Structure 1
Amino acid sequence: MQNNRREFIRNTFGTAAGIVLANQVATATNPSSAEPTFAEPRIKFAVIGMNHGHIYGQVEAVIRGGGQLVAFYAKEADLLAAFAKRYPNAKQASSEADILNDKSIHLVLSSAIANERAPLGIRVMKSGKDFMSDKPGITTLEQLAEVRKVQKETKRIYSILFSERFENKATVKAGELVKAGAIGRVIQTIGMGPHRISLSTRPAWFFNKEQFGGILCDIASHQFDQFLFFTGSTKAEIVTSQVGNVNHPQYPNFEDFGDVMVKGDKGTGYVRVDWFSPDGLKTWGDGRLTILGTEGYIEIRKNIDIAGKEGGNHLFLVNNKETVHIDCNDVELPFGRLLVDDVVNRTETAMSQEHCFLTSELAIKAQKYAKQLSI
């Protein structure tokens, strides 16, 4: 009987479903592996700039990680009012300087206008605090060079919340499966980032390329992050890229389509991003990621499984043993906790600094050297 049980465990835990089962067993027997809670705040943090709604996801991630939101500031009265209503226990600062000069604050978050984020991050690091930006966190090579320089000098954290990986439970689960060897060695990633444009909700800066950075610098930064993470590449280059404004002539400084081929030292990647998600879709975009390995592949349907299973966080895995669907809705999102760990311990567990900078470099170069598409 004991031998049969050992055989069952060996055979089961060797499959993708078995890896999921093993994680569930670990959670049941080790409560610390479940979503953590903190009796006392681990750090104090603040917000400067909230021009994109992503700031709310950024704040919630750090709160989950044990951070206490203590202050916020923005130049726009309407954005301040909405934020204050959401977080009434935080103090509305009278200026950016009030936050930067407050030595009790450890971390500053921002979703300011995209091309203003890196200069802000530099000021934050020079004030002795760590920084976490919405994507894109850097929009030009000149900004990147200065951010690298100041980060090296100050030894502060410059982080970017690539939410399509860090805030998507199926993508987090895919990382666990790939690490466990479920599909062998990763060869290629294919990242699709379609978005609904919702024209009436967009501010003027959204259509100004100088301010938003361009479609590859902006949206595709998610896909470059995932490419580097899943292939394990630490060096990479853009093979070819193209961008275009194919359907919004009323906004001549806007781009609504772009795609890229990228090559790393441990894999290759393809990226396609666009602003063409139709209104009939039940979510803002049918984001997908395919991870090809030597012994199988994973497809992630991040937000929706069209005409299929309800909700998001769907992971499909095919390897030499099975084809399985994994519901990832109970997976912990660890980024906020790990980032707070890094702030406290001066480590790089959430994301290495070089990974953050290389992701930005790829996105900026793909944008800068892209061919113009006219169709």
Structure 2
Amino acid sequence: MPRIAIIGAAHPHVDYVLDELTRADRAAFELVGVQDSDPAVAAHHAARFGVPAFDRAEDLLAEGVDVAVIAGVYGARGADAVAALRAGAHVLADKPLCTSLAELDEIEAVASEVDRTVNLLLEKRGYPETLAALDVVRAGELGDIVGVTSSGPHKLNRAQRPGWFFDPAQYGGILTDLSVHDLDAALLFAPADEGVIRGAVSAPLDGAQGFTRYGSATLTTPNTVVSAEVSWLTPQASDVHGDYRLRLVGTRGTAEIFWARGRVEVTTDDQPTRALDLPPGRRPAEEALDAFADGRTPEVGTRDSLAPTRLALLAQASADQGGTALAWSRPAD
């Protein structure tokens, strides 16, 4: 029976895993305990499952853990991931995995050293719209994908955010945080192993020095140009938290993904614009927990978790350096 521990629960995305564990078909998993630097946060989630709450990650990891779920304060996640790996656990993490390139390098090295996997909860991969568009791309209907443009706006809801969220040392920057999903989607639709990335940010927030509300990342690979914009600028009166969108431009057609609207439109040289039928989606932690239960590596394993994380961190580093072009490449398998 796989033993799961929550190492950091400050972000609501921890519920991706906790809600999954409440399902009857997840009885094969044992939740060992919940840890967070805020005792009240740990106690809240622990009480829901009748398990112990821990103040220190090392104390919980000492209980013997097969899978460590990392969902705490962003600035603590890198160290938590390394500690979990060294304790012999696979890592299942909310994004961002960490907030610095040095931390990512250490995570990559330790994961290889101890032969454990790092797995990000990249929930957009399981959305019905993504799955429908991916079928069209893989069938070759759009030809070669040469351009990917995405928009990821969010409501800031400032009054509801904890103080650490506006601390650059703990938050890591808007591109570190928000661009991971769309950069991952770009690599899903247009696979690449190398490229050049640039980042830019704007719209500083009054009273929160170093916190910006708009960012863009531009990735150029040998075959595709990717542009991902993200923001904390969704208008408060909007009917959605974020009107997330992605446009694919191919040599034989285009696809428009409207994630927030539940719609995908495809136009090709052979067919006029049509809306795709959407398949069932997947819950954010569903596939990963299925994989752990079966004793296999989740679909989003170490290689596919580290790539968009590194791209996002490089984009943030580029923005911090005034838009300097930075090289990116995946390590060989």
Shorter-chain TM-score category? 0.7 to 0.9
- RMSD over aligned Cα, in angstroms? 2.5
Alignment of 1:36-115 (within 5 A): 43-60=2-19, 66=26, 68=29, 70=31, 71-84=33-46, 87-93=48-54, 95-103=56-64, 105-115=65-75
Counterpart residue number, 2:330: none
- Please tell me whether the aligned partners of residues 120 and 301 of structure 2 are also in contact (alpha carbons under 8 angstroms): no
Give the AA of the match of 2:202: G
The answer as to 2:311 corresponding to 1:362 is yes
Between the aligned partners of 2:288 and 2:166, the Cα distance in structure 1 is 34
Higher mean Cα deviation, 353-362 or 112-121?
353-362
Structure 1 residues 352 and 88, CA, compared in 2 at 3 Å: closer, same or farther? closer
Alignment of 1:1-375 (within 5 A): 43-60=2-19, 66=26, 68=29, 70=31, 71-84=33-46, 87-93=48-54, 95-103=56-64, 105-163=65-123, 165-238=124-197, 240-246=198-204, 248-304=205-261, 313-319=262-268, 320-326=270-276, 328=278, 330-333=280-283, 336-338=286-288, 340-341=290-291, 344-347=294-297, 349-370=298-319
Give the AA of the match of 1:195: H
- Please tell me whether the aligned partners of residues 107 and 132 of structure 1 are also in contact (alpha carbons under 8 angstroms): yes
Provide, for residues 225-254 of structure 1, a one-character-per-residue CA deviation record: whole Å limited to 9, x for no partner.
Answer: 11111101122220x3211234x2211121
- Please tell me whether the aligned partners of residues 228 and 355 of structure 1 are also in contact (alpha carbons under 8 angstroms): no
- Please tell me whether the aligned partners of residues 5 and 61 of structure 2 are also in contact (alpha carbons under 8 angstroms): no
Higher mean Cα deviation, 363-372 or 113-122?
363-372
TM-score by length of 1: 0.77
Structure 1 residues 344 and 150, CA, compared in 2 at 3 Å: closer, same or farther? farther
Residue aligned with 2:49, SS = coil
Percent identity between matched residues is: 23
Please report how far the alpha carbon of residue 215 of structure 1 lies from its aligned counterpart in structure 2 after TM superposition: 0.7
Please report how far the alpha carbon of residue 206 of structure 1 lies from its aligned counterpart in structure 2 after TM superposition: 0.8
Between the aligned partners of 1:75 and 1:350, the Cα distance in structure 2 is 30
- Please tell me whether the aligned partners of residues 34 and 43 of structure 2 are also in contact (alpha carbons under 8 angstroms): no
Give the AA of the match of 2:29: Q
Structure 1 residues 253 and 273, CA, compared in 2 at 3 Å: closer, same or farther? same
Please report how far the alpha carbon of residue 184 of structure 1 lies from its aligned counterpart in structure 2 after TM superposition: 2.2
Please report how far the alpha carbon of residue 98 of structure 1 lies from its aligned counterpart in structure 2 after TM superposition: 4.0
- Please tell me whether the aligned partners of residues 157 and 343 of structure 1 are also in contact (alpha carbons under 8 angstroms): no
Please report how far the alpha carbon of residue 355 of structure 1 lies from its aligned counterpart in structure 2 after TM superposition: 2.5
Between the aligned partners of 1:340 and 1:127, the Cα distance in structure 2 is 22
Structure 1: 5+ residue stretches without partners: 1-41, 305-312
Provide, for residues 8-29 of structure 1, a one-character-per-residue CA deviation record: whole Å limited to 9, x for no partner.
Answer: xxxxxxxxxxxxxxxxxxxxxx
Structure 1 residues 61 and 234, CA, compared in 2 at 3 Å: closer, same or farther? farther
Between the aligned partners of 1:339 and 1:188, the Cα distance in structure 2 is 33
Structure 1 residues 334 and 139, CA, compared in 2 at 3 Å: closer, same or farther? closer
User: How many pairs does the alignment contain?
Assistant: 318
TM-score by length of 2: 0.86
Between the aligned partners of 1:153 and 1:342, the Cα distance in structure 2 is 20
- Please tell me whether the aligned partners of residues 245 and 252 of structure 1 are also in contact (alpha carbons under 8 angstroms): no
Between the aligned partners of 2:309 and 2:219, the Cα distance in structure 1 is 13
Give the AA of the match of 1:365: L
- Please tell me whether the aligned partners of residues 289 and 300 of structure 1 are also in contact (alpha carbons under 8 angstroms): yes
Give the AA of the match of 1:88: F
- Please tell me whether the aligned partners of residues 89 and 116 of structure 2 are also in contact (alpha carbons under 8 angstroms): yes
- Please tell me whether the aligned partners of residues 101 and 313 of structure 2 are also in contact (alpha carbons under 8 angstroms): yes
Provide, for residues 172-196 of structure 1, a one-character-per-residue CA deviation record: whole Å limited to 9, x for no partner.
Answer: 3322332222322222211111010
Residue aligned with 1:236, SS = strand
Residue aligned with 2:181, SS = helix
Higher mean Cα deviation, 89-98 or 257-266?
89-98
Structure 1 residues 346 and 196, CA, compared in 2 at 3 Å: closer, same or farther? same
Between the aligned partners of 1:140 and 1:94, the Cα distance in structure 2 is 24
Structure 1 residues 216 and 94, CA, compared in 2 at 3 Å: closer, same or farther? closer
Structure 2: 5+ residue stretches without partners: 324-333
